[in-house]
C-alpha cells in the first residue's frame, strides 16, 4: 500500500522517451523563474534558480495542458541547466516519467513548493520551487519527506536562528501525518553541526558574514529521508549599507561612461570590485588589452602619469581583472601576462599610487620586491610617503599598498599609522597642513581605507562615521569634497576606500558600535518652524528636533537723540517658543543710523535659520533749554538757548497745568536762529506752564526733540 501511494504520488512509469530532435513549436510564451533541486541521497544539485517558458514541452515534442508553465516545462529546463540537454528525460504520452537526470524514473518523487504534484501537467508559478527526489529505499519506499519551517533566513552576525525540522509519514491507518524530526544530524555547508532536539529544533548562530547552507544527513537513526534545505544569509547592517554605498558610488561615477581601455585599468578594477554591473564594459576592455599586447610585442605599454611610468599598476590591475572575469592571465589570447609583469624594468620610476594594484596582483616574492622598491623610492620614516610633498593621502595609499604583507613590514606599518593620525582631527582627516588644512572627504576616506586594510576596523569605523556624517550626499555612496554637494573626485576616492572597508567588515563580521548619523536640516524661516532630523544610516533610528522660527525682535528703545555718532540699539530676538535666539545665528546691517530721521536695522538669519527681519527706530534732534519767561498784559515772552545742530526750528508749548493737558497750545518758530517768542491773547492773571523743543524736517517729516523742563509765569 505504501509503495502504491508513493508511486501514484510520484507519477513514475516507463513507456516512451523525449527526443530533442522532434520539436513542435506552439505559441506558448509565458516565462517564469522557479527554483529546482535534485536529491539522490545527497544534493546532486542544490536549489538553483532557472527560467521556465511555457513552450518548452512543445519544443521537445510534447504538448502539455494549457499555455501556462507546467512541471514538465520546469523539468525540461532543469535538465538543460544541469546536463546541457534533455536527452535523458523520458516520459509517456500519459505523462509518466520513466527516466530523469540520467536515472530510472521509477524511484523519482517530485514536489512543487513542498506540496505533492498531481502530475507533470500541474502548473508552476513564478517563485515556486520544484524538488526532484530519488528514493534511497526502493524496496519499502520508506524515505520520509522532511522540511524546515523556512527555506530562507536573513540574520545578523551572532544572531540566534532557530530552525524546526519536520518530517512526513503515515499513521497506522495510512493517513499522512507530520511530526517533529528529532535527532536529525544537521549539516552546515556540508559539515556536521549538531542534532535536532525532541521538538525538531536546532539553534544556529554565526560569527562571520556569509551564506550558510543548512541541510541534514540523508537518514535519521538509519531511516532514510529526503533531506531538507534552508539558506541562512548572515550579514551586518553596516555591511549591507556599505555595500549599498559602493553600488551607489559606482552608479554615479559610471553614469555616461562609454568604455574603458587598458590605460584605465586601475579605475576599471575599482568599478569591477564595487558590485555594480560592469558587464557592458568588459568586452571592449579585453579588446583594448589584446590590442595593446599585439602592438607592443606581448607587453603592456601605457602613457606616463604625472611623469611616472604606469605599467606596473596597469599590469597589476589587468591581471586582477582577468582573474575576476575567470580568465587565466598566464594565457590570455596567447600572451603570458604573469611573466611579462615580472619582467618590468625595476630601475624605472613608477607612479606611487599604482603600487597598490601591482603588489596585490604579484606573488609573494615579487610583491615583497615591489614593497622594498616602494619604500626605498618614496617613504621617509616619521613623515610618510613623499609624492609632491608629504600628505595624509599619500601615506594612506602607501599603507594600503603594503598591508598584505604587514607582518613583514611592521615597522613601516606602525610609522604610517602614526603619520596618518597626525593629519586627523575630531571630525575627519585633512590632506596637508599648509595647502589643504581643512578636513575633507578624500583624506577621511583614504585614512579609513588604510586602517581597514591592516585590520584596524575600529579606527577605520571612526573615519567612516565622519565620512558619512560630514560629506555624504542624499544618495548613498556619493560624497562632496568639503560638504555634501556631490563631487566626482571625492566619490571616486571614497569608492576605493569603501571597498577595503567593506572587505574588512566581511572578514571580521563587524557591526557598527555606535550610530552613524546623517543630519538633514530644514531651516526655520521668519514665519515657519524648521527641523533637524538625525538618522542613523545603518539602523534607521531617527530623532527630530524643532527649530522654532524667529517670531519677535524687540528693541530696547525705538527713539534716540542725535549724538553725531552711529547708533546701534540693543535688541533681543526670540523664537516662537519664547526662547532667545543667540546672536551667532544672525548678522545685523544698519542704514541711516547716524543723522536725524528714521533709521533701519536688518537682521539676516543664518545657520539653522533663513530670511530677515527689518526694524526701524527714530533719531531725533537735540533739545534746547528754556532760559527765561517774562509776563506781560495778557501775554508772555519766552527765551531759550539756540540749538544750531540738526535743527530746523522750535516749538513752544504752554498750558494751564503742569501735565500740559488743560488749555494747551503750540506755537511754532520756523527759524532756528530765533530764540525769543511773545505769545499774546492770553487770559489775565492766569498762571501758565511753558516748555520748548526743537524739530528737524527730513524728507517732509518733522522729528522732534524731547521737551525741555517747564517754567511758569502769571500774566498781568
Model confidence pLDDT, tens digit, residues 524-581: 999 999 999 999 999 999 999 999 999 999 999 999 999 999 999 999 999 999 999 9
570 and 647: one domain? no
For residue 61, what pLDDT band results from cuts at 50, 70 and 90?
confident
> Do 125 and 164 fall into the same domain?
no
Residue 67 has pLDDT above 90, yes or no: no
Are 665 and 654 spatial neighbours (Cβ–Cβ below 8 Å)?
Answer: yes
- The reported pLDDT for the residue numbered 303 is 92
> Per-residue pLDDT for 64 more than 80?
no
Which of 235, 263, 290 delimits the end of a domain? 235
Mean pLDDT of the chain: 94
Same domain as 568, residue 652:
no
529 and 489 together in one domain: no
Q: Are 576 and 652 in a shared domain?
A: no
**pLDDT confidence of 299, banded at 50, 70, 90?**
very high
For the stretch 146-192, pLDDT in tens is: 999 999 999 999 999 999 999 998 888 888 899 999 999 999 999 99
Q: Which of 620, 638, 661 corresponds to the end of one domain?
A: 620
363/502 same-domain check: yes
Domain with 60 in it: what CATH number? 2.170.130.30
**What are the residues whose beta carbons fall under 8 Å from the beta carbon of 59, sequence distance 6 or more?**
23, 24, 25
pLDDT at 648 over 80: yes
The grid coordinates of residue 198 equal 525532541
**Is the pLDDT assigned to residue 23 strictly greater than 50?**
no
Q: How many CB atoms lie within 10 A of CB 565?
A: 8
Same domain, 286 and 323: yes
pLDDT of residue 28 exceeding 60: no
Check residue 57 and give its pLDDT. Answer: 86
Does one domain contain both 527 and 411? no
pLDDT band, very low/low/confident/very high, at 63 (cuts 50, 70, 90): low
CATH number at residue 259: 1.50.10.10
What is the model's pLDDT at position 170? 84
Judged against a pLDDT cut of 70, whether residue 79 lies above it is answered with yes
Q: DSSP letter for 588, please.
A: E
72 closest CA partner among 113, 122, 35, 12: 122
- The verdict on 123 and 29 lying in the same domain is yes
Instruction: Measure the CA dihedral 373/374/377/382, to 10°.
Output: -130
pLDDT, residue 29, reads 60
Q: Are residues 31 and 167 in the same domain?
A: no
Number of domains in the chain: 5
C-alpha cell at 423: 593629519
With H, G, I as helix, E, B as strand and everything else as coil, classify residue 510: coil
Question: What whole-number distance in Å separates Cα of residue 518 and Cα of residue 95?
Answer: 61
Judge if 557 and 675 occupy the same domain: no
In this prediction the pTM is 0.81
- Same domain as 131, residue 25: yes
Q: Indicate if the pLDDT at residue 14 is higher than 60.
A: no
Q: What is the mean pLDDT of residues 605-633?
A: 97
Mean pLDDT of 378-406: 98
Query: Quick one: pLDDT at residue 364?
Result: 98
The residue from 92, 114, 142 where one domain ends is 142
pLDDT at 306: 86
Cα–Cα dist 228/131, whole Å: 10
574: containing domain: 516-620
pLDDT of residue 6: 40
Q: In CATH, what number is assigned to the domain containing residue 634?
A: 2.60.40.10
Amino acid at each position: 500500500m505504501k509503495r502504491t501511494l508513493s508511486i501514484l504520488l510520484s507519477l513514475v512509469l516507463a513507456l516512451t522517451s523525449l527526443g530533442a530532435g522532434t520539436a513542435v513549436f506552439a505559441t506558448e510564451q509565458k516565462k517564469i523563474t522557479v527554483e529546482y533541486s535534485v536529491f539522490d541521497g545527497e544534493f546532486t544539485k542544490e536549489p538553483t534558480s532557472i527560467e521556465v517558458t511555457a513552450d518548452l514541452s512543445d519544443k521537445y515534442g510534447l504538448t502539455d495542458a494549457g499555455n501556462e508553465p507546467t512541471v514538465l516545462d520546469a523539468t525540461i529546463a532543469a535538465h538543460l541547466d544541469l546536463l546541457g540537454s534533455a536527452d535523458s528525460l523520458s516520459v509517456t504520452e500519459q505523462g509518466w516519467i520513466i527516466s530523469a537526470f540520467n536515472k530510472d524514473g521509477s524511484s523519482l518523487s517530485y514536489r512543487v513548493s513542498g506540496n505533492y504534484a498531481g502530475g507533470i501537467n500541474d502548473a508552476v508559478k513564478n517563485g515556486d520551487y520544484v524538488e526532484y527526489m530519488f528514493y534511497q529505499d526502493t524496496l519499502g519506499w520508506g524515505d520520509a519527506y522532511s522540511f524546515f519551517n523556512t527555506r530562507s533566513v536573513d540574520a545578523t552576525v551572532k544572531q540566534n536562528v532557530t530552525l524546526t525540522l519536520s518530517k512526513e509519514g503515515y499513521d497506522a491507518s495510512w493517513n499522512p501525518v507530520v511530526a517533529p524530526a528529532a535527532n536529525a544530524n544537521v549539516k552546515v555547508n556540508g559539515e556536521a553541526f549538531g542534532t535536532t532536539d525532541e521538538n525538531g529544533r536546532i539553534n544556529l548562530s554565526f560569527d562571520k558574514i556569509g551564506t550558510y547552507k543548512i541541510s541534514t544527513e540523508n537518514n535519521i537513526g538509519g531511516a532514510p529521508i529526503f533531506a531538507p534545505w534552508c539558506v541562512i544569509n548572515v550579514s551586518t547592517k553596516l555591511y549591507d549599507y556599505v555595500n549599498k554605498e559602493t553600488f551607489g558610488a559606482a552608479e554615479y561615477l559610471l553614469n555616461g561612461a562609454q568604455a574603458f581601455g587598458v590605460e584605465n585599468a586601475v579605475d576599471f578594477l575599482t568599478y569591477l570590485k564595487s558590485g555594480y554591473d560592469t558587464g557592458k564594459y568588459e568586452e571592449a576592455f579585453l579588446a583594448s588589452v589584446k590590442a595593446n599586447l599585439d602592438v607592443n610585442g606581448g607587453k603592456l605599454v601605457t602613457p606616463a602619469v604625472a611623469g611616472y611610468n604606469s605599467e606596473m599598476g596597469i599590469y597589476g590591475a589587468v591581471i586582477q581583472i582577468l582573474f575576476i572575469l575567470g580568465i587565466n592571465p598566464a594565457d590570455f589570447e596567447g600572451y603570458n601576462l604573469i611573466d611579462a609583469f615580472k619582467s618590468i624594468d625595476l630601475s624605472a620610476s613608477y607612479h606611487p599610487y599604482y603600487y597598490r594594484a601591482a603588489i596585490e596582483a604579484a606573488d609573494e616574492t615579487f610583491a615583497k620586491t615591489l614593497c622594498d622598491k616602494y619604500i626605498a623610492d618614496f617613504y621617509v620614516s616619521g613623515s610618510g610617503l613623499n609624492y609632491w610633498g608629504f600628505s595624509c593621502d599619500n601615506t594612506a595609499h602607501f599603507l594600503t599598498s603594503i598591508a598584505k604583507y604587514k607582518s613583514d613590514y611592521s615597522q613601516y606599518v606602525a610609522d604610517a599609522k602614526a603619520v596618518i593620525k597626525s593629519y586627523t582631527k575630531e571630525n575627519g582627516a585633512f590632506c596637508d597642513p599648509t595647502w589643504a588644512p581643512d578636513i575633507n572627504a578624500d583624506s577621511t576616506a583614504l585614512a579609513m581605507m588604510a586602517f581597514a586594510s591592516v585590520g584596524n576596523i575600529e579606527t577605520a569605523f571612526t573615519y567612516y562615521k565622519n565620512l558619512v556624517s560630514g560629506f555624504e550626499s542624499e544618495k548613498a555612496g556619493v560624497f562632496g569634497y568639503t560638504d555634501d554637494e556631490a563631487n566626482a573626485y571625492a566619490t571616486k576616492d571614497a569608492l576605493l576606500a569603501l571597498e577595503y572597508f567593506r572587505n574588512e567588515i566581511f572578514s571580521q563580521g563587524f557591526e557598527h558600535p555606535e550610530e552613524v548619523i546623517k543630519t538633514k536640516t530644514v531651516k526655520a524661516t521668519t514665519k515657519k518652524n524648521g527641523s533637524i532630523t538625525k538618522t542613523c544610516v545603518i539602523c534607521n533610528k531617527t530623532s527630530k528636533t524643532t527649530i522654532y522660527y524667529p517670531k519677535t525682535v524687540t528693541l530696547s528703545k525705538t527713539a534716540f537723540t542725535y549724538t553725531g555718532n552711529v547708533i546701534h540699539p540693543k535688541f533681543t530676538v526670540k523664537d516662537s517658543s519664547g526662547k532667545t535666539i543667540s546672536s551667532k545665528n544672525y548678522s545685523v546691517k544698519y542704514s541711516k543710523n547716524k543723522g536725524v530721521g528714521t533709521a533701519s536695522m536688518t537682521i539676516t538669519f543664518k545657520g539653522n535659520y533663513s530670511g530677515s527681519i527689518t526694524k526701524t527706530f527714530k533719531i531725533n534732534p537735540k533739545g534746547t533749554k528754556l532760559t527765561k519767561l517774562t509776563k506781560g498784559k495778557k501775554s508772555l515772552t519766552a527765551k531759550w538757548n539756540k540749538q544750531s545742530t540738526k535743527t530746523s526750528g522750535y516749538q513752544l508749548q504752554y498750558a494751564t497745568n503742569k501735565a500740559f493737558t488743560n488749555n494747551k497750545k503750540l506755537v511754532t518758530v520756523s527759524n532756528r536762529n530765533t530764540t525769543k517768542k511773545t505769545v499774546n491773547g492770553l487770559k489775565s492773571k492766569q498762571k501758565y506752564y511753558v516748555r520748548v523743543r526743537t524739530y528737524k524736517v527730513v524728507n517732509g517729516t518733522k522729528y522732534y526733540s524731547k521737551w525741555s523742563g517747564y517754567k511758569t509765569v502769571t500774566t498781568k
